A and B are shown apart, each in its own frame.
Chain A
Amino acid sequence: MCESSGMLLALLRKYVRPYRGLVAMVMLLQTISTLASLYLPTVNARIIDDGVARGDTGTIVRLGGVMLAVTALQVACAIGAVYFGSRAGLGFGRDARAAMFHHITTFSEHETTRFGPATLLTRSTNDVQQIQMLVQMTFTMLVTAPIMCVGGIVMAVHQDAGLSWLLVISVPVLAVANGLIIRRMLPIFRRMQRLIDAVNRVLREQLSGIRVIRAFARESVERDRFRVANTELADTALAAGRWQALMLPVTTLTINISSVALIWFGGKRIDAGHMQVGSLVAFLSYFMLILMSVLMATIFFVMLPRASACAERITEVLSTPAAIAEPVRPVEPHGPRTGLVELRGAGFRYPGAEMPVLHDVSFTARPGTTTAIVGGTGSGKSTLVSLICRLYDVTGGTILVDGIDVRDQATEELWSGIGLVPQRGYLFSGTVADNLRYGLAGATDDDMWEALRVARADDFVRAHPDGLGMRVAQGGANFSGGQRQRLAIARAVIRRPSVYLFDDALSALDVHTDAAVRANLRQMAADSTVIIVAQRVSTVMHAEQVIVLDNGRVAGQGDHATLLDECPTYAQFAESQTVGAVAGEQR
């Protein structure tokens, strides 16, 4: 408990700090407002005693005026407190969310895979929301409660110090009881936030796999899967609620028992002549004031454990450094980027894995040439592409782009020279134009049509009534695989990069389109380095250089003809597609 509230406190300190002026205002206004509400009963009493009891209308009106003036002051203060409090509380939430998003977007594949998008999403919104609510609650009541509580205690002690020992017992009892309950709630809320992740994850998967689910008519299976996550969440929320339900009665009971004890021991003191009855009544009313403030604070304490659990989760994300670190002193290439890619004994092993995915891979891909990478499923082709654009760091050897180790280049700078077309051509919701502008922010319509032409995507975009304004569903779900890949290629082409990385990105295209896209590319980007991961012989046979990967090792290197003669793995690969190869040779 201590540790996690420590995290909460640290988080609050950091993100509330910019608003300390506003917070000071809230404190001031709340103090005035609380003092006013402490003063009001006195005015009330005087209205009754001096006015109503004597039938003195003048006094009633005068005191009534005072009362309304005090109330007006209170209203003004309350409004001001709401204004500044909301600004500070919501500002905290906004800043914390921004910090999360900012930090998570520095993550590399390692961290995003480790956490998973579902939990990162919950942590960026829901978890921050929980703490924000606590902060807002703090501003509205936690300023008032201590003032009332301290005021009550001071007045009570002042009234009769001889009964104050009761406070010394009941206040710690309250603290211990609530502390015990909160400690029990903390692990429950930790679990609860995890289960919100789970609900999020299941539903997110359902939304992205909706076609498969329907194709297999597995709605009922999915419903069960969701029900498990949902019921677990509800059960955990129920368990948390059971402890919450205990807090209020325990608090009120403690205070009520104290007030009963107060009258008993107060009675003894009165009987012994140490105390006036009036003092006892006053003491009792101050006691009630303390009760009210503790009750208010209880609402705060009900929210504390969940906020603490959320603070832990947020801190965990914020304190996770990206595995791919920016170089301290980035090296910039001399002159313009040419696109020279060199691998020198590059190797990669996933953390904790026994076998390396890639082992001692060396080759040079020169500007103006095409390097094709072929190999069996799971032979490490995609990993190689990820290493070149530094989505992962090599665990052995080096990779140089433009003569400089990729680890010594500023990543944004490195990426600016690379046009990656990933295996899954992830498209963003919006329009075709939005997605192309993803590649080049200030792209003109002409730029876009040119890129679409190179990727052979111009025909279907032009055929659509909205043209470039054609809508794209999230992930490009409304396009066929081939269309999606062509748009993803266009998005890379529009950047005019010096290095093109096609991660098996031509596989969904028919042979014809595949060839046309490569021809267009060769023509438009004559000086660029093109690296293509491919499955089709027809795609690779015209490449200047072919790298054959087998189980993470280079099994052959050379052009199509050489490899056919010298590399049995490649020959086998080519042979399995002989019909395609024959068709290719017919041209």
Chain B
Amino acid sequence: MRGALRMQQAPAERSRDFRGSVGRLLRRLTPQRGLTLTVVVLAVLGIGIGVVGPRILGHATDLLFNGVIGRQLPAGLSKEQAIAAARERGDDTFADLLSGMNVIPGHGVDFGAVGRTLLLALGLYLVAALLVWLQARLLNVVVKRTMLTLRADVEEKVHRLPLAHFDTRQRGELLSRVTNDVDNIQTSVSMTISQLLTSALTVVAVLGMMLSISPLLTLIAVVTVPVSLWITRVITRRSQKMFVAQWRNTGRLNAHIEETYSGFTVVRTFGHRAAAREKFAGLNDDVFHAAFGAQFFSGLVGPATMFVGNLGYVGVAVVGGLHVAAGQITLGAIQAFIQYVRQFNQPLTQIAGMYNTLQSGVASAERVFEFLDEPEQSAEPPRELAVGAGPPRVEFDDVTFGYVPGSPVLEHLSLIAEPGQTVAIIGPTGAGKTTLVNLLMRFYELDAGRILIDGMDTTTVSRHSLRTQIGMVLQDTWLFTGTIAENIAYGRPGASHDDVLAAARAAHVDRFVQTLPDGYDTVVSDDGGALSAGEKQLVTIARAILARPRLLVLDEATSSVDTRTELLIQRAMAELRRDRTSFIIAHRLSTIRDADLILVLDGGRIVERGTHAELLDRRGAYWEMLRA
């Protein structure tokens, strides 16, 4: 019985670590090291120009001012004479003003100089725009590449997880991580990273300038930073949890939506629409509440930091004022310093303001990393299963297995399929038939015993080499979105069109495909209604026929196919089985009676074995089953 689950519940939530996830996210950028470095360099240059630009404009304004003042003064005077004249008039303020300027009395605005200055500014602005543009383009490449690999990693991880993992998870949950979470990381990284960079660099530059003016005042201004950091920590410790909850709840909601849409026919016809909507409303509310809490709490960081920053500003003004009064510092210096304090606080507030976006992204990153950290199936042995010349010999040697520890589904089961034999397995539902196949395919690992193919323990060879030699048709048909031809060709990549057609004919796919307007190019999907269940089964049989495996496993492969078609397929299968070892699970007598060996399975044990005739003669379990 496949029923039980090895893992009962999702593993307990691991302690989540904001800083760890940030570090890991940053490390994901390192493959683009060169690009990332270029982005940083471009940002530094851009900020440099950003600082210089206004100064040059300021110089242009000065030139204008010089011209305006200069024209008021009589020509021929030197600057010194003009100052002296002003002092004589008792106009000390004007004299002071003049002394600080570069005026030539009698000269109006020097538009040549103004023009040159403005051209310089224009050039710098052009360069700055170019730098910003380049930086944004490169950053775009870095971020998008990182997201590409992140999504690819998740997809590859899927194929390394043990099958049991998927028995306990909803599809929509994982899908949410790949679409919603990765999307959120992308938005948050591209929105914050250049801002963070710019802000951090600005802070450093301004700090240097402040230190050069007054270490004491710098200390007062900077003393508020730890306070801001502390407040930020207090708030974000709460909001981080809420962000994680927001994206976890989004995943749950996504899972519910996905499941409802997947099983929609049942949802509707069982009158379960109202209940599905009710559950949706509950989960939707959970997303809302978590998201609201996260947004609100993280939204407090910005205003709080701004307030603390302003406290520092006032502090500097007070102390600075005292210093000026005491003559310890010049007015100009203190004015400049206060400007810098503003420039210092601004980027800090900006960083704080982006905190919610950042935290949200990190919460999503945590969820993606959490998936990437799930325990994987045991490592692949490097050894390949040798491809023998003929059909393989398969041996189950004292196999014991249970999905839940302590309740075995198969107990001490041994069987041998000689090369070229067809072994039919029958038994009541839940006897362990499908489990047998699952173990042969190494979907699950044995608890005890061995499975040998040509004498080789299957756990000592790579899964890939094992499975490529087995062709399997499952009861559950599975078609991916693509044409019918593509779905058949899935059995053997690189198969020629003729091979595909031959397989299709053998599986009697050809007959109904001819009636479709697009023939083999008809696009089908797993959910779509273009094909009936029986037709889907035929396509999957064609797939297995095309694969030409040495070992064929048919698990209720024709249960939805009508008996007439089945009979025809059977002939094709008989052909197919001729030089192969085959395992067949079926309920229909017609399918199993030609088998070389029939195993009757019940309660995880083989209760009878023999050929059809032998078993009928015995009048045991097999005979009993056929009497129905």
Residues in A whose Cβ lies below 8 Å from that of B125? 252-253, 256-257, 260
Question: Interface 1/0s, chain B 30-59, versus A by CB < 8 A?
Answer: 000000000000000000000001000100
Contact of A513 among B265, B287, B428 (CB under 8 A): B428
A55 & B285 in contact (Cβ 8 Å cutoff): no
B122 and chain A: residue at smallest CB distance: A260
Contact of A226 among B152, B265, B433, B566 (CB under 8 A): B152
A198 and chain B: residue at smallest CB distance: B481
Tell yes or no: A219 within 8 A of B by CB: yes
Tell yes or no: B78 within 8 A of A by CB: no
B295 & A136 in contact (Cβ 8 Å cutoff): yes
Q: How far is the CB of B383 from chain A (nearest CB, A)?
A: 15
Which chain B residues in 565-603 approach chain A with CB under 8 Å?
A: 565-567, 587-590, 593
Q: How far is the CB of B530 from chain A (nearest CB, A)?
A: 8
B430 & A244 in contact (Cβ 8 Å cutoff): no
Tell yes or no: A20 within 8 A of B by CB: no
Q: Determine chain B's interface SS by DSSP, over half rule.
A: helix
Interface residues on B, range: 35 or more
B176 & A125 in contact (Cβ 8 Å cutoff): yes
Tell yes or no: B424 within 8 A of A by CB: no
Residues in B whose Cβ lies below 8 Å from that of A333? none
With A121-B254, A377-B561, A583-B628 already in contact, the answer to whether A460 and B3 are too (CB < 8 A) is yes
Contact of A420 among B163, B187, B269 (CB under 8 A): B269
A248 & B132 in contact (Cβ 8 Å cutoff): yes
With A55-B324, A426-B266, A429-B259 already in contact, the answer to whether A260 and B121 are too (CB < 8 A) is yes
Tell yes or no: A270 within 8 A of B by CB: yes
Contact of A473 among B168, B255, B467, B472 (CB under 8 A): B168
Complex CA gap A536/B563 in Å reads: 7
Complex CA gap A259/B8 in Å reads: 67
A-B contact pairs, 23 of them (CB 8 A): A53-B331, A75-B303, A75-B306, A78-B303, A93-B291, A112-B264, A121-B172, A121-B257, A122-B179, A203-B175, A208-B478, A245-B136, A249-B130, A271-B111, A377-B512, A377-B534, A391-B265, A426-B265, A441-B275, A473-B166, A480-B429, A480-B434, A511-B625
Tell yes or no: B441 within 8 A of A by CB: yes
Contact of A270 among B2, B64, B561 (CB under 8 A): B64
Which chain A residues in 360-417 approach chain B with CB under 8 Å?
A: 374-379, 381-382, 389, 391, 411-412, 415-416
A477 & B179 in contact (Cβ 8 Å cutoff): no
Binds A, one of B208-216, B219-227, B334-342: B334-342
Tell yes or no: B288 within 8 A of A by CB: yes
B187 & A133 in contact (Cβ 8 Å cutoff): yes
Binds B, one of A100-108, A146-154, A163-171: A100-108
Complex CA gap A218/B11 in Å reads: 29
Residues in A whose Cβ lies below 8 Å from that of B266? 420, 422, 426, 428, 438
Residues in A whose Cβ lies below 8 Å from that of B3? 460, 464, 470, 478-480, 483
Q: Determine chain A's interface SS by DSSP, over half rule.
A: helix
Complex CA gap A410/B490 in Å reads: 44
Tell yes or no: B310 within 8 A of A by CB: yes
Given A223-B159, A423-B560, 5 extra CB contacts under 8 A: A79-B299, A201-B481, A216-B547, A377-B562, A514-B628
Binds B, one of A445-453, A558-566, A573-581: A573-581
Residues in B whose Cβ lies below 8 Å from that of A133? 187
Residues in B whose Cβ lies below 8 Å from that of A121? 172, 175, 254, 257-258, 261
With A126-B183, A210-B158, A257-B125 already in contact, the answer to whether A586 and B163 are too (CB < 8 A) is no
Q: How far is the CB of B532 from chain A (nearest CB, A)?
A: 5
A117 & B491 in contact (Cβ 8 Å cutoff): no
Question: Interface 1/0s, chain B 161-191, versus A by CB < 8 A?
Answer: 0010011111110111011100110110011
B167 & A477 in contact (Cβ 8 Å cutoff): yes
Tell yes or no: A529 within 8 A of B by CB: no
Q: How far is the CB of B606 from chain A (nearest CB, A)?
A: 17
Complex CA gap A280/B517 in Å reads: 75
Complex CA gap A97/B1 in Å reads: 40
Binds B, one of A83-91, A183-191, A335-343: A83-91
Tell yes or no: A71 within 8 A of B by CB: yes
Tell yes or no: B367 within 8 A of A by CB: no
Complex CA gap A378/B564 in Å reads: 13
Tell yes or no: B65 within 8 A of A by CB: yes
B145 & A234 in contact (Cβ 8 Å cutoff): yes
Q: How far is the CB of B278 from chain A (nearest CB, A)?
A: 11
Complex CA gap A172/B363 in Å reads: 41
Tell yes or no: A459 within 8 A of B by CB: yes
Question: Interface 1/0s, chain B 588-628, versus A by CB < 8 A?
Answer: 11100100000000000000000000000000000001111
With A53-B324, A538-B628 already in contact, the answer to whether A101 and B257 are too (CB < 8 A) is yes
Complex CA gap A136/B1 in Å reads: 51
Could you say which of B172, B265, B295, B590 has the most chain A C-beta atoms within 10 Å of its C-beta? B265
Tell yes or no: B320 within 8 A of A by CB: yes
Residues in A whose Cβ lies below 8 Å from that of B338? 44, 47-48, 52
B474 & A98 in contact (Cβ 8 Å cutoff): no
Which chain A residues in 267-315 approach chain B with CB under 8 Å?
A: 267-268, 270-271, 277, 280-281, 284, 299
With A60-B321, A241-B140 already in contact, the answer to whether A486 and B5 are too (CB < 8 A) is no
A392 and chain B: residue at smallest CB distance: B529
B476 & A211 in contact (Cβ 8 Å cutoff): yes
Complex CA gap A25/B67 in Å reads: 51
Tell yes or no: A246 within 8 A of B by CB: yes
Residues in A whose Cβ lies below 8 Å from that of B476? 211-212, 424, 481
